[in-house]
Amino acid sequence: MPTINIQLFEGRTVEQKREYAKALTEATVKVLGCSPSAVDIIFQDVKKSDWASGGELWSDKS
């Protein structure tokens, strides 16, 4: 069973996550040939202060 972990900055709506989960599931079924019920998607909301790129916190970027 494919398990897809998605990390996003917090603030996405439930509807956005629902639509994204549907699209990811459809793509996974098409490419891997598995059943939709076999696809697990885990969303992790991350605060910008808990994510850094290039040594800089996203919360510090303007």
Question: Collapsing DSSP states into helix, strand and coil, what is residue 33?
Answer: coil
Tokens of 5: 């972990």
The amino acid at 34: C
Instruction: Out of 1, 2, 29, 43, pick the active-site residue.
Output: 2
The answer to whether residue 36 is catalytic is: no
CA gap 3, 48 in Å, rounded: 24
As annotated, the active-site residues are: 2
